[in-house]
Structure 1
């Protein structure tokens, strides 16, 4: 008997319990769920957050149950929409990672892969439960949500400060990323963005990249180590406790996002801004390098830093703005994006753009451009 539920009251002694519950229900009901499971049962998770919480409080899963993970690399609405689309279009679906944390009967791997197939994953790659929650929680705060939000906000102000009209500033700062840059990366890879540029634009790209890599890496390595140590998970749990008193605020009511509505209403051809491309790709590469340094496998790194960004999340911002992207995600992701986006904004404004504008002696001491 297999059950998928959000409350332990919905099952009695199952052989397989699969849950996609949010952060707070799992934290508060975990012991009740474990107690209700019979020996030899399988606990299926769609996110590794629970293990991160258990790590932070020094607890473990029961040793007599199997624990597996199947984690779609996209937000819930995308998983469902592409699953349904798969009836007509072969290959539609969201890539998944899978992990076997405990296997008490030798069947856990088969169950995990079968679960991934059942939800329509075109590609499924192996990870560990611990690496999944670290890369996933980190990635949301990085290029997937938090970093890209900080990038577009800082670039919009920079372009306006240089005398560019509001709508053009939005196109350069945001539309360029969510439109042609994401589309090129999705279809032909990161390098193709640079190769498609004219010679002068390549120089601008290289300067922006060299000036932005280290400031982005600085925030990203700090963020990863906050996740790794358990501090970021504790921060999420504390924030959720505060929500009845202080709910999350809106993030798309500023002038920039009002301009974005006007731009989307009359959207035409969107050019690639080379400076924007350099900043964005420097941050993406910095995230890739952090995950490499921390020992993650390449399939996980590329999914958490590139594929999920350009194929799953950026299209939501392209359609309706930053809140539509961020606030369709989990509570953990929404909190992290709000917390870390200002850090990227600040570091890029204070350390990257001033170098490119000649106020800090140029970019000779920055990260060399690798292409």
Structure 2
């Protein structure tokens, strides 16, 4: 099921939130500030109160007050008090925190309340320890196809980010309406139905794959490859790798699809793309299948939970302090007005497209829907995440995401870097692609039709990233 949203249909929003007098938004990480403000703005003058709940003494209290949530107005309070008061509890604290505190959170919720999740991580954890959600609450998911800052930025541009929705548990028959109303109120133009299990598997997998981890590893390896050529400057190497993916390659895919990217190349460039694609597809797919298996088995979820404990002693380090990002990337960004957008580098395009297509194939083999596959492998990358790397570098993209995503990107990016350097580029010169069945499969793949349909539902404007 696909639902078209319109947050200006206030009467329908009120109907969808029937029985909901207060929405508690718990947490102020990546999604919390965006969803709380979008809900507040969409539900202004409806009588539905949007209240932010944070830990007592949290440093985020001041951030919430700065954008208008206050104790005096009844829109800001202590986390468990807000959970207990609210009819819809949107739980947006970190995944590791959800795992640590889920028993207390469930205990604080009033009977017949609705628990809202923007990620199915908690379901995955409960399944791994053979536990379930309480039987006296409904459980729904609304999962924006982009990081929190994008959710707010596009809302402010009178647009929005598409969402998936899922109903995991419905005790009174109202859960579907509430989930759809929630998605519409945070600005989703289109809402795609999924299951919470499929959502968390595709999401955790996708951010370790082409959305974050893979693209980081790919551009690092390709940058070093281009730098090693004597006729290429460090700035040109950056333009041929990172700037190429976030600029002309993403733009071409966003507007014309992956096949459109291919068709935009000259014949001699297509020959280079073909070789790169054929060389990259199998190593990428093998690594992506490993990631999916790690997620589906619960290993990746346990890894995040254990990392949450280590982060107290060893906080996440920076990922953009190298010369590539700190000097070359900065100089390229500062010179854009003078140099313009670089031409598409076919080697980079072939490696990136092969990784995308491998991710598509892994998800399809695991039974995911085309809408989920296109969003988690292509659309979220080019329309939501890559613009952040284009604006300020890889850290601005990765570290605006959830802790789970940040951990996964740091863990798996080096594996993709290794695959490109040790498995792909070393074979690149010795592959004959013109008769390879992989290229024929790429050209005739069903994803091109599915992506064309999904792209009809993309936001009418590109995200503006400062």
Establish whether residue 282 from structure 1 lines up as the match of residue 321 from structure 2.
no
Corresponding residue to 1:183 among 246, 251, 254: 251
Establish whether residue 368 from structure 1 lines up as the match of residue 438 from structure 2.
yes
Structure 1 unpaired stretches of 5+: 87-91
Contact 1:93 1:120 in 2 (8 A): yes
Corresponding residue to 1:247 among 288, 294, 315: 315
Instruction: Give RMSD over aligned pairs.
Output: 1.5
- 1:11 is displaced (CA, Å) by 3.5
* Alignment match, 2:23: 3
- 1:15 is displaced (CA, Å) by 2.8
* Alignment match, 1:168: 236
Per the alignment, in what secondary structure is the counterpart of residue 147 of structure 1?
helix
Establish whether residue 136 from structure 1 lines up as the match of residue 203 from structure 2.
yes
- 1:63 is displaced (CA, Å) by 1.6
* Alignment match, 2:53: none
Deviations 1:211-252 (A, max 9, x none): 000010011000011000000011011111001111111000
* Alignment match, 2:95: 23
- 1:24 is displaced (CA, Å) by 2.7
Whole-angstrom distance in 2 between the partners of 1:53 and 1:116: 24
Alignment map for 1:1-371 (pairs within 5 Å): 1-6=21-26, 7-12=79-84, 14-86=86-158, 92-163=159-230, 164-257=232-325, 258-267=327-336, 268-358=340-430, 368-369=438-439, 370-371=442-443
Whole-angstrom distance in 2 between the partners of 1:106 and 1:64: 13
Whole-angstrom distance in 2 between the partners of 1:318 and 1:269: 12
Contact 1:211 1:366 in 2 (8 A): no
- 1:16 is displaced (CA, Å) by 2.1
Count the aligned residue pairs.
364
Whole-angstrom distance in 1 between the partners of 2:134 and 2:287: 36
* Alignment match, 1:89: none
- 1:5 is displaced (CA, Å) by 3.4
Please, what TM-score do these two structures have when normalized by structure 1?
0.95
Per the alignment, in what secondary structure is the counterpart of residue 12 of structure 1?
helix
- 1:65 is displaced (CA, Å) by 1.3
* Alignment match, 2:459: none
Per the alignment, in what secondary structure is the counterpart of residue 168 of structure 2?
strand
Whole-angstrom distance in 2 between the partners of 1:366 and 1:225: 28
- 1:169 is displaced (CA, Å) by 0.8
Contact 1:182 1:310 in 2 (8 A): yes
Q: Quick one: higher RCO (CA 8 Å, sep 6+), 1 or 2?
A: 1
Per the alignment, in what secondary structure is the counterpart of residue 241 of structure 2?
helix
Per the alignment, in what secondary structure is the counterpart of residue 125 of structure 1?
strand
Please, what TM-score do these two structures have when normalized by structure 2?
0.76
